[in-house]
Amino acid sequence: MEVITQAREMLRKVQELRCSGKTIGFVPTMGALHEGHLQLLRASGRENDVTVCSIFVNPTQFNNPDDYTLYPRTLEQDSDLLESINCTYLFAPTAAEMYPQPSLLQFGFGALEGVMEGEKRPGHFNGVATVVSKLFHLVQPHRAYFGQKDLQQVAILRQLVQGLSFDLELVCFPTVREPDGLAMSSRNKRLTPEQRQQAIHLYKALQQAASQLSHTSVESIKQEAIAYLNAINEIEVEYFEIVDVLTLQPLQSINPQQEVAICVAAFVGEVRLIDNLLVNL
C-alpha cells in the first residue's frame, strides 16, 4: 500500500491510473477504522482494479469544537488494517493540505438538510459536501462507498453527485453491527464500559418501534421510544423520527407497502451516536 499525503500527488496518481484504464474504488473515512469500513473496502477491492481509502478528520463538518478535538485518531493502527486487506492507496492529507485557504463554499440541499442531522447540526452537511467534493475531484473514483448508518449523509451525497454531475457510482452498504446490535462507529471508542452497555438500547428502541409500525400511531411510537431511552442512565435523546426512506421527511402516518426509516440520535454520556433501521411494511 502506498501512502499519499499531498493533494497534487493524489491527483497525479489517479490520472495515471485512469489513463491506463484502471477502475478506481474510493472509501472516504475519518479514520478509527472498524468492520463497517472494512466491509466497504472489501467491496471496493472486489469491484475495482485499485482502491483508495482516505483518512481525514474534516474540521468543517464539526459544529462542536470539542467533538472535533476528541474524535479518535488512530492513523498507525488504521494503516496496518488497510495493509492487511490489500488497500492500494491511503490518502491521508492534513487540514492545511485540504484547506490552504478558509472555505467559503455554501451548499444548499433544501428540505433534506432541514430535518434530523441538518436541523440539529447547522452547517454539518455544508462541511460534508465541501470535503467530499474536494475528495471526489482529487481521487476521481469510478465508485464511492458509504455506509447506511449515515443514512441522511448518503441522501445528501446522492443529491451532490447528481447536482454537480460527478461521473461516479455511489454505493451504499447496510450498517454493520456488533453482536449485541450496536451500530459500529468510530465514536464507540470514546464510550466507557458502562456507556457501551447502555448504548445497545438505541438499537433495541429501533427494533421495538419497527415492531409497532403496523398497529400503533407514529406519534405514540416516537413518544414511547423517547421515554424508554431517556429513562436509561446516561442516555439523552436528541431526536427519534420515523421518516420516508426517500425524502427523509417525518411521517404523520404510514401507508401499506410504504418503506420507512426509523432514525435516532442520542448522547450516551458526552458521545453523540446515530443509528437507523429501514422497514418495508
Number of H-type helices and E-type strands within the chain:
10, 9
- What 3-state class would DSSP assign to 120? helix
- Whether residue 147 is annotated as binding a ligand: the answer is yes
Which CATH architecture fits 2-173? 3-Layer(aba) Sandwich (3.40)
The ranges assigned to domains in the chain are 2-173, 186-276
C-alpha cell at 68: 472535533
Q: Check for a shared fold between 2-173 and 186-276.
A: no
- Whether residue 33 is annotated as binding a ligand: the answer is yes
- Residue 120, Cβ density class (10 Å: 0-12 exposed, 13-18 middle, ≥19 buried): middle
- Cα 134 to chain centroid distance, Å, stands at 17
Tens-digit pLDDT profile for residues 198-232: 999 999 999 999 999 999 999 999 999 999 999 99
- Whether residue 187 is annotated as binding a ligand: the answer is yes
Q: Are 270 and 142 in contact (CB under 8 A)?
A: no
Q: What integer pLDDT is reported at residue 281 of this predicted model?
A: 79
The stretches in the chain having pLDDT less than 70 are none
Q: Is this model's pTM higher than 0.85 or not?
A: yes
Q: What integer pLDDT is reported at residue 140 of this predicted model?
A: 98
Tens-digit pLDDT profile for residues 172-186: 999 999 999 999 999
Cβ neighbours for 241, distance < 8 A, ≥ 6 positions apart = 115, 116, 222, 250, 262, 263, 264
- Whether residue 183 is annotated as binding a ligand: the answer is no
- Whether residue 150 is annotated as binding a ligand: the answer is yes
Looking at 37, 124, 142, 201, which residue is catalytic?
Answer: 37
**Can 142 be counted among the known catalytic residues?**
no
Which CATH architecture fits 186-276? 2-Layer Sandwich (3.30)
- Whether residue 61 is annotated as binding a ligand: the answer is yes
C-alpha cell at 230: 431517556
Element (H, E) at 235: strand 235-244
- Residue 181, Cβ density class (10 Å: 0-12 exposed, 13-18 middle, ≥19 buried): middle
Q: What integer pLDDT is reported at residue 255 of this predicted model?
A: 86
